[in-house]
Amino acid sequence: MRGKTKFIPAPKPTHFKVTEEVELMTFLLSKMGGMSRNSVKSLLAHRQVMVNTTIITLYNYKLKPNDLVVVNSSRGNIELTHPKLRIIFEDADLIIVEKKEGLLTVSTGDNDETTAFSILRNHVKKSSPNNRIYSVHRLDRETSGVLMFAKSREVQLALQEHWHNVVTRRVYVALVEGKMEKEQDTIVTWLSENEKSLKIHSSDSDNGGQQAVTHYRCVKSNDNFSLLEIELETGRKNQIRVHMERIGHPIVGDKKYGAGSSPIDRLGLHARVLAFYHPITLEIVSFETPVPRNFLSIFH
């Protein structure tokens, strides 16, 4: 006589109540019975951890007393998989992504071209047709890196209207032509746009344009190229590209602004770090992405 088939119920989610301020990684390591850091990172990457009903993937997310942390046994069922866009962080108010080069942030016309905005709009609608996203800032099509979107019009406006006070750090890496004469420097010019060519022009004196301030530090260099870490004090259109041309070290692949080479078959500009005051919690949050490998391969 055959034995009866046993149906094993799916493991129930594990719930933890937070009693003190602590980073999510530290909290999970203390609660998950000897689990390694890599195992905890895997839980986060597979969207198995929720804080107060929101999936959290950021290991240094700040927990507060009375937060409820839920660890699910199965992977999160709504996960964005797109070759040009990766979600770094998502909560009830924001989505932070890493955009690859070649993808527009938002549409520039009436065409149906896929953009970061359209990919995310379709993503959030999978959870509910009423969900929306709103563009907060932009990266050029050929620039990769950290990009932020809001989930409500109110959050979008709060971020845009107070952008210079909200954002505490914007760090880029740029692969530029030539060996730098100075290890570090600050570039200050005034920028204005030519309405016909749509090219930004730079002036050393105030010509009625917008003042632009760029700080740079040389990280690596050889006889032909330099890798710079660039911190923006102002965020003008094409600011880094214009300033690099201005000092005689255009960004590789940037024909519009003086480049004569394209050794990595893309624009050598990547938005690596974005730190800002969260519009709801008012805490500083920081998001980082790695330097693209082909930027570094030039120096091997």
Instruction: List the catalytic residue out of 67, 91, 93, 140.
Output: 140
| Close Cβ partners of 128 (under 8 Å, ≥ 6 residues apart) | none
Across the chain, the runs of DSSP E, i.e. the strands, are 14-17, 22-23, 49-51, 54-55, 62-63, 68-71, 85-90, 94-99, 134-135, 144-150, 167-177, 184-193, 200-203, 210-221, 225-232, 269-277, 284-288
Tokens for 27?
């909290």
Q: Residue 68, Cα to own-chain centre: how many angstroms?
A: 27
Strand partners, 188: 213
| Torsion angle, alpha carbons of 143, 297, 173, 259, to 10 | -60
Let me know if 91 is a catalytic residue: no
Active site residues: 140
